[in-house]
Amino acid sequence: MSDMKYIYFPKSTADEEIRAILDNRKTATRRVVKQLCGVKIPLSLQLFVSPHSGMVYYDGADRQLLIGEKPVVAPYRPGDILYVRETWAKVGDNAYGYKADDVWIVPRWRPSIHMPREAARIFLRVTAVRVERLQDITEEQAQAEGLYKGWTLTERSTPACTARQAFMWVWDMTIKPADRALYGWAANPWVWVIEFERIRKEEEIE
């Protein structure tokens, strides 16, 4: 499994998203399809992701979507095993601490992007991948993202009226202000919807 893929979450929300996975509240995540940003695609167009090749099709899954003669391909496919990269530290021989646990005192945390697979504790199996507009997310789907009614940004913030509203707030937290015109909630970009289930570490080598 040396070619195992990984996934990590934006620094601004990573700890909370990791805790939601550990609590079995988060079973989906969304990523911008940057290849489609700025491309005029009718809102009514239905796009389909091949579960085998990861390529995107339209018109009843008969025509392959090409942008600049290049196919649009999903980053993951159903069945892929991913390890989650998170902010971490080595705390002993073959022992690791994780910032999301909020119980460790270490001299220096290491960024998630530098986490090796052997330090990972969370493994996910991709169950489905599709592509849709960001604002198509439903209340149920927002809950699958780990959000909920009453979620707050801080203790003094106004609670979200719905999980969908909480998702909207969280999404824009992860986008740099300079990029929101392209990738923010109001821009309604196309996104990959990646659904997954958590598996035991032992399963990733089976």
CA atoms of 140 and 143, how far apart (whole Å): 5
The answer for residues whose C-beta is within 8 angstroms of residue 95's C-beta and 6 or more apart is none
Longest pairwise C-alpha distance within the chain: 55
pLDDT truncated to tens, each residue of the chain (206 aa)?
446 899 999 999 999 999 999 999 999 999 999 999 988 887 778 899 999 999 999 876 678 999 988 999 999 999 999 999 999 999 988 899 999 998 888 889 999 999 999 999 999 999 999 999 999 999 999 999 999 999 997 777 899 999 999 999 999 999 999 999 999 999 999 999 999 999 987 666 55
Counted residue by residue, the chain has a size of 206
